[in-house]
Structure 1
Amino acid sequence: MAEVELEYVNSFIDSRGKRRYVFRRRGHKRVTIKGHPGSAEFMANYHALLEKSGGNSPIEIGASRTKAGTVNAVAVALFKSDAFLKGLAKDTQRPWRRIIDHFREFKTPSGRVYGDNSIASIQTKSITDFLEGKTANAQKNSLKAIRFLIRFAISKGHLVHDPSEGIETVKADGPRSHGHMTWLEPQVAQFRKRHALGTMARLALELLLNIAARRYDAHLIGQQHIREGKLLWRPHKTIRTTGKILKIRIMPELQAALDAVPSEARADGVLTFLVNDYGRPFASAAAFGNKFADWCRAADLEPVLCDDGRVRNYRAHGLRKAALTALAHAGATGVELMAVSGHSSLDQVQVYIDEVEQESAAEAAMMKLAKVSEIKTATSSD
């Protein structure tokens, strides 16, 4: 494997004669990176450290050593492009970069890695070979990332057609996953009992439950978003798509939680409703999610074995699902649900309506059966 030059990475020979690689950036702790520069594992760790230490650095992954038109060269250009850096959310950039790096390191039967090959030589079989053996979900995500790379190559004139067209990923075995656990009233009541009004944990629950916000948006919403008794904000997930702005009334439960939090809980000048133990805004949505998980554990919310065989815990996103389910039970239409959730299509909220309609229809059917049974019993007693 050719040596790859990476910014902030230094190497040395240890006492055992083995070459080691260390990530060094001014103002940050030195970290040893396992593996060899250019490998998928190494690059994933490198990019994580780079972003953690500040990011926004010119990441030319061996650019001076790659030949124009190769998979490596196209990947290098993609990672520096506006299409990647501005067109994709950071939560999408990280996993797609890892997938593309894995694709570059994938070996042909002759032992040559894809990255050294011309992008024009990539055929449909090249992609299906890369997908072989992966789970259904991994295949789906991998194909999205590879297609993004290929379409970028087409836009730059390196390819004429898309070799990924027509590729079908495998279907998942067993029951379909329903994702995060939807909170039910017993779990909400248990959380409220453990975390009283005036605590940040209680405010987090009421915020998520009353406006059906995503975790990312919830940790950023604050005083600056209040307009005439309502919260007005643009969901992060819609910034690059519809640009939809949501305006939702502050319900009494949420207002009570806001009023109960003492002003000294937040540092001076902090506007966000949710803050960490130091009174500062959470560093990221993930940091908030981790804290919320701690609050769930403190409330003794037990994990649940789901019908797809996976064990899941009650977490922040499950409250968004609970909020939409409650709205559907209250008779909200699909359009009304979209107005609260920020979803862009009716199909995305129809699942909540279908669930409520199934329950209502089943209850009506059983009531009819009960009525017939009562008539039979009364007739037989006569």
Structure 2
Amino acid sequence: MPRSLPKYVQAFTDRHNKPRFYFRRAGVKRQPLPGLPYTPTFMLAYGAALEASQLAGVKSGSKVRLSKTEGPKVAPLPGSMSALVAEYKASKYFGRLGPTTIKNYTRLFDKLEAEVGTFPVKKMRRADVERMIDRRVKAGGPEAGNSVRRVLKLLMKVAVQRGYREDNPTLGVEKAEAPLGKKGYRTFSEADVSAFIAKFPLGTRQYLALSLLLCTAQRRSDVVKLSPKNIVGTYDPTDFAGRRLALTQIKTGKQLVIPIADMLREALAVAAVPAGAPAFMRTKDGRAYTPESFSNLFSAWSKRAGITEQASPHTLRKAAARRLAQAGCSVHMIAAMTGHDSLAEVENYTKAAEQEGLADMAMLQLQRPKGLPQPL
């Protein structure tokens, strides 16, 4: 017995005797659907079209829950990707994440649901995963593609654990790579550091921001929270010799104790931030910056310093890791500063420094006069 078409799907045969299918629903524009009904390609497009029509406010046979603060929200279909997202959000895995990660994942889940919310979890194939990553890479670059890869891996892990499917279609799917000659976040260079300091010398809040980022190797979400309360021991606003910073990372919850480097020690002593201040970096009215506002402001300061390339707090985090690598620190030592769990991520920061050092050693070997003993 032939299987009926999915709801709101119309079919006809074109003049070349080829079957055509459209999603057609009152109140929204008619949309062509690729392939044949119930194939993965077709269902991905169908799910996206159905989701878009629901978001557009079209009445649906599904139960709708109304909220005073939110628009209409369609209850997720059992076995769908939206239902899996809801289950993951209610799981122990989601609850143990840091607030920043929860915020970022929620944003990614919203995009995922808008694209494939109604798609059945058990029908997701590796090819579907790779297509979604490719689309995100095309729209927002490798970082965007790897973000959707990361959340899909989390969701499919839960799907297997809960018995919704036997295999994990994300296994073996490689990370998106930047095109040859291009990289993700660049590293704030030493030339950039010099240009920034020339424009904003010791005693300015811009210099203090640079010092906090470069000497702690922390994320912007952690830097904006650093305050006199993070100083280990009795706080003296003008003396930071031999002192340390103790912090708990917002993203990971990891607790770190970091020595205060000379550059930061001098910047803090000149700033003489009062003990009761909410943060070392404060707005003109004395409040702590939000991570977003701090990031935007630092980029604007960098432009004023004549730095035309990408300049964000994250480029300073990479620069701090690079400096540690150039000083001969091991990946474990660098991870102790940055708080990374994955040594592979630290190695991404240190590859350039290691290459430069090995190249210098190779040239010394080449130019060493014959007959002299080789270095140990």
User: Which bracket does the TM-score occupy, shorter chain normalised?
Assistant: 0.5 to 0.7
In the TM superposition, residue 333 of structure 1 has moved relative to its aligned partner by: 2.7
* Alpha-carbon separation, structure 1, partners of 2:129 and 2:369: 60
Q: What is the aligned partner in structure 1 of residue 121 from structure 2?
A: 119
Q: Which amino acid aligns with 1:197?
A: L
Relative to structure 2, which stretch is displaced further, 135-144 or 225-234? 135-144
Q: Does 1:324 align with 2:337?
A: no
Alignment of 1:227-266 (within 5 A): 227-228=232-233, 229-239=243-253, 243=254, 245-261=255-271, 263=273
Q: Deviations over 1:82-126 (max 9, x none)?
A: 544554613432442133223326xxxxxxxxx1x5433444455
Partner AA of 1:39 in structure 2: A
Is 1:175 aligned to residue 180 of structure 2?
Answer: yes
Equivalent position of 1:278 in the other structure: 285
Q: Gaps spanning 5+ residues in structure 2: where?
A: 1-5, 8-26, 29-48, 57-68, 234-242, 371-376
Structure 2: distance between partners of 1:210 and 1:39: 47
TM superposition shift of 1:252: 2.6
2:232 counterpart of 1:218: no
Counterpart position of 1:103: 115
- Residue 359 (structure 1) shift: 2.3
Aligned pairs for 1:8-157 (under 5 A) are: 38-39=51-52, 61-63=73-75, 66-79=76-89, 83-84=93-94, 86-87=96-97, 89-104=101-116, 115=118, 118-128=120-130, 130-131=132-133, 133-135=135-137, 137=142, 138-157=144-163
Quick one: distance in 1 between partners of 2:127 and 2:366? Answer: 57
- Does the 8 Å CA contact 2:248/2:256 hold for their aligned counterparts? yes
How many Å apart are 1:182 and its aligned residue?
2.0
Q: Distance in 2 between the 1:41 and 1:119 partners?
A: 19
Distance change in 2, residues 1:85/1:171 (3 Å): closer
Give the Cα separation in 2 of the matches to 1:164 and 1:344.
25
Instruction: Give the TM-score of the pair, scaled to structure 2.
Output: 0.66
Residue identity in the other structure for 1:325: R
Kept in 2, the 8 Å contact 1:197–1:261? The answer is no
TM-score (norm 1): 0.65
Superposition deviation, residue 80 in structure 1: 5.4
| Distance in 2 separating the partners of 1:40 and 1:190 | 52
CA contact (8 A) 1:219 1:274 kept: yes
Task: Give the match for residue 303 of structure 2.
Answer: 297
Q: Is the 8 A contact 2:130 2:173 kept in 1?
A: no
Aligned 8 A contact 1:198 1:262 in 2: no
In 1, the alpha carbon distance for the partners of 2:348 and 2:196 equals 26
Post-superposition offset of 1:326 = 2.1
Corresponding residue number in structure 1 for 2:19: none
1:191-210 alignment, distance < 5 Å:
191-210=196-215
Equivalent residues, number: 300
Alpha-carbon distance, 1:170 to partner: 7.7
Hey, what's the Cα distance between the residues in 2 that align with 1:41 and 1:123? Answer: 25
1:293–1:315 Cα contact (<8 Å) kept: yes
Please tell me the residue identity of whatever aligns with 2:263. Answer: E
Deviates more, 1:204-213 or 1:180-189: 180-189
